Amino acid sequence: MSLASAAQAQTAFHGQEIFDLSRRSIDLAESQLRLHQANERFGTMYSHVAITSRWAPGEFVMSDGTRLGGNLARNQILLGGGGGDTEEGLFFLGLQLDQVAGVGSPGQGEDTAENSKLFRPGGVSQFMSYLGGSFHGVQASAGMLRNEMSISDLEVNGYGTFGRAGSVRPGAPADLQTADYNPPDSLLFTLYDNHTGAFLSLAYGSQEERTATEWMGQTSYRFEHKSMGIQNVRFNLQPLQYYLPEWLGLPFASIARYDRPLAEMASQMDTDAAKRTTDIQIGADDVLEAGLRWRVLLNKADDFRVRVAELGYVEEFRAKRFGVLFGARAMTVNRGTGYEPSAEAFLKGSFMRASAEVDRRAVPSWFGAAVSYSYNAPESQTFIALPKAHVIGLQLVYGPTELARPLVPLVRAVESRKARNRSSEDD
């Protein structure tokens, strides 16, 4: 059995699960945090374009039980630029796109031609345009989030399964036959303090809840808008300078409160109404100044549980203006049914800019390309929280590679630390 065949045998894509996980995984607030951190390191925003794509082979499970081979892909695009510097005055703007899509060659056996007409998986996406600025070391941004996340975009029918012609039975209730839902557009506000590393994001828009309906032994799902309000809140703290003994590394902590249907890492799709969940995360990068990382993620829904425990390592090699970065991490993940192993690794090559644009600031990596492999990724930073998926990633960046979300989230503080050291030595 080939590697691709083995991966497909282990990963089944179910319509409602992929739809729910996709909607929860698309989180552009994380990209804004990384943008603010990069602006602080370099003292300005450089023009940049970044393209990231991740692919997971598997099988789409149809409403009639048929399995059609294909791939699930997540694609991200960043585009931005600005002028000025973060202390005296900086203006910046940009665009971001995050998409999860079904890609591949539906159909099997003699029915390939017919099946390809019956099922063509689509995708769900979120697009944001933003404006921001900085003065005296405090950055702020405001962005419009536009959603294309209806169930029909992924070819998911009213029963929450990948559709085939005639998959919704005649005579079914109207809400099953016409069930289609696109989340409302919303506003994302962010605030970042360059000196303390404190980051706050607020997403404001129409709140929602999901209900389930039983009919003829099938469960259908329906989303309804509630009142306007704060959809979710996130707070993150990680100073990019050493205020504590260096052997402790660069500690970080975050708390996120989600007003979304279900917890991100539920073991299966719940049929209850919307639930709220809180994630609390603590850890540190560059422990012992050796590129070591640890992290613990706690989840509070009905009670507290350790969702993820992680150990990671990053190493960087440089030869003049060329650099190679390697990172790997091992995790144990609890999706509600016990602990499972997870692992990720990446390799990135980059070319350094000749000098910094702002005096006494870090010199960014200017061109970069990276590849990665992940198994059973537990969080949205890598792919979507799909159990036992094998994921291959590719990233191309023009401009500072530190602006793009890494294929595996192990790069941020280590690069910053070494860039600061080089800058100090040059001075």
How large is the average pLDDT for residues 230-245?
74
Q: Which carries the bigger pLDDT value, residue 37 or residue 8?
A: 37
The domain of 283 spans 3-426
How large is the average pLDDT for residues 58-87?
86
C-alpha 346/C-alpha 333 separation (Å) is: 20
Q: Which carries the bigger pLDDT value, residue 49 or residue 212?
A: 49
Give the percent of the chain with pLDDT over 90: 20
**Please, are residues 155 and 179 in contact by the beta-carbon 8 Å criterion?**
no
Confidence grade of residue 218 (pLDDT, cut at 50, 70, 90): low
pLDDT value of residue 77: 93
Examine the pLDDT at 401 and tell me if it is beyond 60.
Answer: yes
**Range with the lowest mean pLDDT among 68-72, 249-253, 323-327, 335-339?**
335-339
- Tokens 């016990």, residue located: 338
C-alpha 244/C-alpha 24 separation (Å) is: 35
When mean pLDDT is compared over 133-142, 318-327, 352-361, the highest value belongs to 133-142
CA angle 415, 418, 422 (to 5 degrees): 135
- When the pLDDT of each residue in the chain is averaged and rounded to a whole number, the result is 77
Examine the pLDDT at 382 and tell me if it is beyond 50.
Answer: yes
DSSP code, position 138: E
Tally of CB atoms within 10 A around 71: 22
Q: Which carries the bigger pLDDT value, residue 413 or residue 343?
A: 343
Phi then psi for residue 181, to 5 deg, are -145, 130
- Tokens 């598997």, residue located: 58
The model carries a pTM of 0.75
pLDDT value of residue 392: 93
Report the domain count for the chain: 1
Examine the pLDDT at 131 and tell me if it is beyond 80.
Answer: yes
Tens of pLDDT along 288-312? Answer: 878 889 999 888 766 778 888 999 9
Examine the pLDDT at 418 and tell me if it is beyond 70.
Answer: no
Its sign, for the CA torsion 212, 161, 383, 126, is negative
C-alpha 312/C-alpha 372 separation (Å) is: 14
**Range with the lowest mean pLDDT among 64-68, 261-265, 335-339?**
261-265
**Please, are residues 100 and 55 in contact by the beta-carbon 8 Å criterion?**
no
Examine the pLDDT at 420 and tell me if it is beyond 70.
Answer: no
C-alpha 325/C-alpha 317 separation (Å) is: 6
In 3D space, the residue among 23, 48, 33 whose CA is nearest the CA of residue 261 turns out to be 23
Half-sphere exposure of 350 (CA within 13 A, CB side): 29
- Tokens 């499972």, residue located: 340
In 3D space, the residue among 316, 310, 329, 294 whose CA is nearest the CA of residue 401 turns out to be 316
pLDDT value of residue 267: 35
pLDDT value of residue 330: 94
pLDDT value of residue 309: 93
pLDDT value of residue 158: 67
**Please, are residues 396 and 366 in contact by the beta-carbon 8 Å criterion?**
no
When mean pLDDT is compared over 13-27, 99-113, 120-134, the highest value belongs to 120-134
Confidence grade of residue 211 (pLDDT, cut at 50, 70, 90): low
How large is the average pLDDT for residues 116-132?
81
